[in-house]
Amino acid sequence: MWLIAGLLALSLGQTAPGKLFLVGGGRTPEIIPKRFIEECGGPESLIIVMPLASATPETSQGSVEYLKEHGAKNVVHFGKASLEDADRAALAKLLTEAKGLWMPGGQQHRIVERLGKEWCDAHIKPAVARGMHVYGTSAGAMVCSDPMIIGNAEEPNTPRVSAGFGLTTYMVDTHFSQRSREPRLRKGMDMTKTEKGIGLSESGWVVIQGDRILEKHGETLVIEQTKAPVKDSLTFSWQTEKFPLQSPPSAFGP
C-alpha cells in the first residue's frame, strides 16, 4: 500500500516524504547504515550527523566515522553545545541540500532546546516532507515525537514530556524492555491524549514514512488507542502488537 501511495505521489509530481529509521538504542543493526546510505541516494549523497543530544556534541564524531566505514563519502558533522544564529543558518542551508539526517543518542531535550522548537518546525519538518530521510537511535528516535518523553517524573511510571520534532504522530519510547518502560509509555499517551505509541527495545527498529509503519524489526511494541463508544460514554480500547526479538546484530554502532 505504501509503495502504491509513493508511486501515486510521484505520478502526480509530488515528492514522497522521507523515511524515519528509528532504533531503540543499544547496537545499531548492521543492515541499517548500508540501507540508510542507499535510501539517501548512494555514497555521494549528503548526510548530516547531528549529535545535539550529546553533552559534548563538538567531539561526538563516532557516527561520522561509522557512516564512512559503511561507504558514505559526503558526511557533514554538525554539533555545538551553544548555537548562535549563524550556526542555525548554516544548518538550515545544509538541510535544503541533505538527503539524510543521522541523530545518535544522549538526552533528547537538548536537541530541541539547542535549536528551538520554532526553528525545528520551520526547517526540519519541511526537509523531511521534501524527502530527507532520518535515522535516530535512543534520544534521536524519541525526539521525532511531539509531544516527546524526556525522562521520568517523581510519580512511578510517569514520564515528563516536552515538545519534539513532530515527524510522526507516534509517541516513541526506547530501551523499552530493558528498562520496563511499557507503563511509562502508556501513561504518557494517556497524559497527552496521544493515540499511537511505539516501544522500541534495544536493537529493535521501525521504518516510518508518511506516518505509516512500513517495517518492524526486532523487539518492538506498537500501541494504538482507539476511541470506542460504550452506551453514552466514551472509552478507550488498546490494540497492541508485539514483535519478537530477531537474532542480535553482530556489530556495534553509535
- Condensed to tens digits (0 to 9), the pLDDT of residues 175-188 reads 999 999 999 999 99
Total domain count for the chain? 1
- Condensed to tens digits (0 to 9), the pLDDT of residues 127-140 reads 999 999 999 999 99
Is residue 92 one of the residues assigned to a domain?
A: yes
Is residue 3 one of the residues assigned to a domain?
A: no
Is residue 254 one of the residues assigned to a domain?
A: no
Residue 122 is part of a domain; what is its CATH number?
3.40.50.880
Is residue 252 one of the residues assigned to a domain?
A: no
Is residue 161 one of the residues assigned to a domain?
A: yes
What average pLDDT does the segment 245-251 reach?
38
Is residue 1 one of the residues assigned to a domain?
A: no
pTM, two decimal places: 0.86
Q: What is the pLDDT of residue 87?
A: 98
Instruction: Give 234's contacts (C-beta < 8 A, 6+ positions apart).
Output: 227, 228
What cell does 242 get? 508485539
CA angle 243, 168, 212 (to 5 degrees): 55
Is residue 169 one of the residues assigned to a domain?
A: yes
Instruction: Give 13's contacts (C-beta < 8 A, 6+ positions apart).
Output: none
- Condensed to tens digits (0 to 9), the pLDDT of residues 41-92 reads 999 999 999 999 999 999 889 999 999 999 999 999 999 999 999 999 999 9
Tell me the average pLDDT of the chain. 88
Is residue 249 one of the residues assigned to a domain?
A: no
Q: Does the pLDDT at position 150 exceed 80?
A: yes
Instruction: Give 184's contacts (C-beta < 8 A, 6+ positions apart).
Output: 149, 152, 157, 158, 159, 173
Alpha-carbon distance of 20 to 179, in angstroms, equals 23
Containing structural domain, residue 81: 17-243
Alpha-carbon distance of 99 to 37, in angstroms, equals 9
